[in-house]
Amino acid sequence: MGSTSSCCVSSSPKLRRNAHSRLESHNPEPELSREDTGCNLQHISDRENVDELNMAYNPSDHPQASTIFLSKSQPDVREKRKSLFINHLTHIDESKHGSRRRKHSSCSTIFLDDNTVSQPNLKFTIKCVSLAIYYHIKNRYTDGGMQQDIFDEKLHPLSKSEVPSDYDKHNPEQKQIYRFVRTLFSAAQLTAECAIVTLVYVERLLTYADIDIGPGNWKRMLLGAILLASKVWDDQAVWNVDYCQILKDITVEDMNELERQFLELLQFNINVPSSVYAKYYFDLRSLSATNNLSFPLEPLSQDKAQQLEAISRLCDDKYKDARRAGKKRSASVDNLVGVRWVPAILS
pLDDT the model gives residue 263: 96
Tell whether the model's pLDDT for residue 257 goes beyond 80.
Answer: yes
Phi, psi (deg, nearest 5) at residue 211: -120, 170
Task: Taking residues 202-214, report their average pLDDT.
Answer: 93
Confidence of residue 95 (pLDDT cuts 50, 70, 90): very low
What's the pLDDT score for residue 322? Answer: 77
Q: How confident is the model at residue 198 (pLDDT cuts 50, 70, 90)?
A: very high
Tell me the pTM.
0.68
User: Torsion angle of alpha carbons 204, 207, 212, 213, nearest 10°?
Assistant: 10
**pLDDT band at 100; cut points 50, 70, 90:** very low
Tally of residues, the chain:
347
Phi-psi region of 289 (alpha: psi -120 to 50; beta: other; left: phi over 0): alpha
Stretch 128-148: mean pLDDT, rounded?
84
The top-scoring range by mean pLDDT among 64-68, 93-97, 157-161, 251-255 is: 251-255
Give the helix/strand (H/E) hosting 113: strand 111-113
Task: Report the b/e string of 67-105 with b at 16+ CB within 10 A.
Answer: bbbbebbeeeeeeeeeeeeeeeeeeeeeeeeeeeeeeee
Q: Taking 50 as the threshold, does the pLDDT of residue 344 lie above it?
A: no
3-state DSSP call for residue 336?
A: helix
Residue 116 in contact with residue 281, Cβ under 8 Å? no
For residue 329, pLDDT over 50 is answered with no
Cβ count near 127 (within 10 Å):
23
Give the mean pLDDT of 241-251. Answer: 90
Cα–Cα dist 162/158, whole Å: 10
Return the percentage of the chain with pLDDT > 70, whole number. Answer: 66
φ, ψ of residue 242 in degrees (nearest 5): -65, -35
Neighbours of 171 (CB within 10 A): 15
Q: What end-to-end distance do the CA atoms of the chain give, in Å? A: 64
Q: For the segment 19-72, what is each residue's pLDDT rounded down to a tens digit?
A: 443 344 445 555 555 455 444 544 444 444 444 445 556 888 988 888 999 988
Q: pLDDT at position 57, please?
A: 62
pLDDT for 161 equals 87
Which ranges constitute the DSSP H helices of the chain? 6-9, 34-37, 44-47, 52-57, 68-72, 77-96, 122-138, 174-188, 192-208, 218-233, 240-246, 252-265, 274-290, 302-324, 343-346
Greatest mean pLDDT range, 79-83, 126-130, 152-156 = 126-130
Q: For position 83, what pLDDT does the model report?
A: 54
Mean pLDDT value across the chain: 76
Is the pLDDT reported for residue 336 higher than 80?
A: no
Report d(CA 66, CA 63) in Å as an integer.
8
| Cα dihedral across residues 290, 295, 300, 306: positive or negative | negative
> What local confidence, expressed as pLDDT, does residue 99 receive?
44
Q: Using one digit for the tens of pLDDT, what is the confidence trace for 163-196?
A: 888 888 889 999 999 999 999 999 999 999 999 9
Output the pLDDT for position 4. 47
Rg of the chain taking only CA atoms, in angstroms: 27
For the chain, the farthest-separated pair of C-alpha atoms sits apart, in whole angstroms, at 100
The arithmetic mean of pLDDT across residues 155-169, rounded, is: 87
